[in-house]
């Protein structure tokens, strides 16, 4: 408890000191919680207050949540969540009026939800004032007594009200900045895109710059786009960027993976169904093409569609018309189509696994997304992005040592960007300190020299490679017949060809077959 000779003068000096120091925190308003903690710290250091909380209304749930505290542990602070009709805090918020509890042990409204005050052992005076912005309460400032018992409660309330007004201005400033940042995000050419999208659009490798130029040219048009490239190269990201740079940016972006569902479910997912169209169809359900009306639909792994669904998709692409399952009513939508595949669609056409007319309808504007081994210049920036992202998620700053970065750069990344992101997360978890050094890198990164991209095959994988190679040779390098012989899907055989580095051999035999056919 502070006692001053010349009480009135000292009291005013203490108040002025608090307000002066608090006003200097205005520069921290962008980091609201940090600014609020600083203000409570000033109250504690300058006056006799032991505990305090700033409780603000959550914009999504409307609950009152402690955003900053003094004298509370993190666990106690996290307990401070109140309904608007609950306890002293709820009363102050609802009435927008100050409230004084002379002795918390005798006040039934004092809930002690945080558990920070020993009601039975301490005689504590507790005060609270509303935090009001534009005439409406947005939160509550609660404290133990600021001054000694010789000072009237009104002095505490007066100073707290001034501090609460200052806090309201901090909240207002923070909201204004957030709104302005949101507007800037919407106004910029990549509104809504994440950091990786921006990173993609400023990549410095020649291979990526060529893709950037293609994206800029095709995005404003209505043309269908076919994205080609290996798994994990970022084809979904490119599709989103094209949508964001188009005139449809404010309309839906709807994605469907053509390999994730069996044919019967995929058709109903695409085009929807009517009540009673099949067993279990208890009510009508719109399809993804209806959801995308006015916007963009992204058909990922388009090469996995059955020939039956290819015919229906072709009609939709030509006419923008379809019927729900179980309906005879034709519906029309305005949808831009972006498709993606990691397969050689031209080869699939020659093998009869993909319709020629659908291929040419999709292939209006093809964009090949380069593999990571083709854009080595971008590896360091990508690593930095994923390290910062993962470090934020795990709350621990981690960086790569120079030798580790060299290993990453030499590696060919057969799983591309997706493999990098997953590996970075694993290494951040494994790292003991703030550095990822070569000692915790996977063995295959140590073994990979320049131009060596993948981990050595195990004995089992080597046997599987020989089996796939023998089946390809037996079936004249026709992937459809090879998949049938091995009892796997066409997608799975394509994955194994890629996994075992057989793409070049397949392509050579395909060229030979074409020459022979001529």
In this prediction, residue 458 carries a pLDDT of: 55
Higher pLDDT, 148 or 408: 408
**Residues 246-261: tens digit of each pLDDT:** 999 889 999 998 887 7
Q: What is the mean pLDDT of residues 342-356?
A: 90
Q: Give the 3-state secondary structure of residue 58.
A: coil
Task: Tell me the pLDDT of the chain averaged across its residues.
Answer: 81
Return the pLDDT at 195: 62
Residue with tokens 């035999």: 509
- What pLDDT is attached to residue 296? 95
Q: What does the DSSP assignment read for 325-366?
A: BT----EE---EEEEEESS-HHHHHHTTSS-HHHHHHHTTEE
Tens-digit pLDDT profile for residues 51-81 = 889 999 987 778 888 998 888 888 888 888 8
pLDDT computed for residue 392 by the predictor: 87
Give the pLDDT band of residue 1 (cuts 50, 70, 90): very low
pLDDT of residue 192: 39
pLDDT at 331 over 80: yes
Spatial CA neighbour of 55 closest among 149, 140, 182: 140
DSSP collapsed to 3 states, 420-440: HHHHHHHHHHHCCCCEECHHH
Q: Which residues contact 295 (CB under 8 A, 6 or more apart)?
A: 243, 248, 251, 252, 253, 254, 335, 336
Cβ contacts of 72 within 8 Å, gap of 6 or more: 51, 53, 66, 80, 114, 116
Tokens for 19, please give them.
């307000």
Residue 452 has pLDDT above 60, yes or no: no
Structure tokens at 114: 């945080």
Q: What is the mean pLDDT of residues 132-160?
A: 81
Predicted pLDDT of residue 148: 61
The secondary structure of 301-321 as a DSSP string is TGGG--HHHHHHHHHHHHHSE
Kindly indicate the confidence band of residue 517, based on its pLDDT and cuts at 50, 70 and 90: low
Strands, DSSP E only, in 415-513? Answer: 435-436
Whether residue 191 is predicted with pLDDT greater than 60 in this model: the reply is no
Residue 82 pLDDT: 84
Alpha helices in 188-273 (DSSP H): 195-201, 206-218, 235-244, 263-271
Out of 99-108, 111-120, 491-500, which region has the weakest mean confidence (pLDDT)? 111-120
DSSP 8-class letter at 18: H
- Which pLDDT score is estimated for 403? 87
- Partnered with residue 65 across adjacent β-strands are 56, 81
For the cut 60, the answer to whether the pLDDT of residue 7 exceeds it is no
Domains recognised in the chain with CATH numbers: 7-183 (3.30.450.40), 195-370 (3.40.50.300), 373-447 (1.10.8.60), 459-517 (1.10.10.60)
Q: What is residue 251's DSSP assignment?
A: S
Cα–Cα distance for residue pair 235/197, rounded to 1 Å: 11
Q: b vs e for 271-305, b when ≥16 Cβ sit within 10 Å of the residue's Cβ?
A: bbbbeebeeeeeeebebbbbebbebbbbbbbbbbb
Q: What is the pLDDT of residues 154-190, one digit of tens each?
A: 877 888 888 888 889 888 888 877 776 555 444 444 4
Which residues are CB-contacts of 224 (< 8 A; sequence separation ≥ 6)? Answer: 317, 336, 337, 338, 339, 361, 362, 364, 365
Per the model's pLDDT, the better-predicted residue between 452 and 237 turns out to be 237
The fraction of the chain above a pLDDT of 90, given in percent, is 20
pLDDT score of 450: 42
Asked if the model's pLDDT at residue 237 lies above 80, the reply is yes
Among the residue ranges 202-206, 278-282, 493-497, the one predicted with the least confidence is 278-282
Q: How confident is the model over 197-235, as pLDDT tens digits?
A: 766 766 788 899 899 889 989 999 989 999 999 888 989
Residue 302 and residue 318: Cα distance in Å, rounded? 17
Task: Determine what percent of the chain is predicted with pLDDT higher than 70.
Answer: 83
What confidence category does residue 120 fall into, taking pLDDT thresholds of 50, 70 and 90? very low
**Residue 96 CA from chain centroid, whole number:** 38
Residue 455 has pLDDT above 70, yes or no: no
pLDDT of residue 189: 45
Residues of the chain by 3-state class (helix, strand, coil), percent to 5: 50, 15, 35
pLDDT of residue 2: 42
**What's the confidence (pLDDT) of residue 29?**
63
User: H or E element: which one contains 252?
Assistant: none
């Amino acid at each position: 408890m502070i006692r001053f000779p010349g009480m009135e003068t000292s009291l005013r000096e203490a108040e002025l000191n608090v307000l002066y120091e608090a006003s200097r925190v205005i520069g921290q308003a962008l980091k609201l919680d940090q600014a609020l903690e600083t203000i409570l710290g000033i109250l504690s250091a300058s006056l006799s207050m032991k505990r305090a909380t700033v409780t603000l209304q959550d914009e999504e749930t409307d609950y009152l949540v402690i955003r900053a505290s003094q004298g509370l542990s993190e666990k106690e602070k996290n307990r401070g969540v109140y309904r608007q009709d609950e306890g002293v805090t709820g009363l102050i918020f609802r009435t927008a009026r100050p409230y004084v509890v002379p002795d918390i042990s005798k006040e039934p409204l004092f809930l002690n939800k945080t558990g920070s005050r020993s009601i039975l052992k301490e005689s504590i005076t507790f005060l609270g004032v509303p935090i009001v912005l534009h005439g409406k309460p947005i939160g509550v400032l609660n404290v133990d007594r600021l001054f000694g018992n010789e000072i009237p409660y009104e002095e505490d309330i007066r100073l707290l009200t001034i501090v609460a007004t200052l806090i309201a201005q901090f909240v207002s400033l923070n909201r204004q900045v957030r709104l302005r940042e949101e507007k800037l995000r919407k106004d910029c050419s990549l509104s809504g895109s994440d950091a990786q999208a921006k990173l993609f659009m400023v990549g410095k490798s020649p291979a990526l710059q060529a893709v950037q130029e293609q994206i800029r040219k095709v995005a404003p048009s209505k043309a269908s786009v076919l994205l080609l490239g290996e798994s994990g190269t970022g084809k979904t990201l490119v599709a989103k960027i094209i949508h964001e740079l188009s005139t449809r940016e404010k309309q839906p972006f709807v994605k469907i993976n053509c390999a994730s569902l069996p044919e019967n479910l995929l058709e109903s997912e695409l085009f929807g169904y009517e009540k009673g169209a099949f067993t279990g169809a208890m009510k009508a359900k719109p399809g993804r093409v209806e959801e995308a009306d006015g916007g963009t639909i992204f058909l990922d792994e388009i090469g996995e569609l059955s020939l039956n669904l290819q015919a229906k998709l072709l009609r939709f692409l030509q006419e923008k018309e379809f019927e729900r399952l179980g309906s005879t009513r034709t519906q029309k939508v305005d949808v831009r189509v972006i498709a993606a595949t990691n397969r050689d669609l031209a080869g699939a056409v020659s093998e009869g696994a993909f319709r020629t007319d659908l291929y040419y309808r999709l292939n209006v504007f093809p964009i090949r997304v380069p593999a990571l081994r083709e854009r080595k210049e971008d590896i360091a920036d990508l690593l930095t992005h994923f390290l910062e992202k993962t470090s934020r998620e795990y709350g621990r700053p981690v960086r790569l040592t120079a030798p580790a970065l060299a290993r990453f750069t030499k590696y060919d990344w057969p799983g591309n960007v997706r493999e990098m992101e997953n590996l970075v997360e694993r290494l951040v978890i494994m790292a003991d300190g703030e550095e990822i050094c070569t000692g915790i890198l996977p063995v295959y990164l140590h073994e990979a020299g320049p131009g060596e991209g993948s981990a050595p095959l195990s004995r089992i994988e080597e046997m599987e490679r020989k089996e796939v190679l023998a089946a390809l040779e037996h079936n004249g390098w026709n992937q459809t017949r090879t998949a049938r012989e091995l009892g796997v899907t066409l997608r799975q055989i394509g994955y194994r060809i890629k996994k075992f580095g057989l793409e070049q051999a397949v392509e050579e035999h395909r060229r030979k077959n074409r020459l022979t056919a001529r």
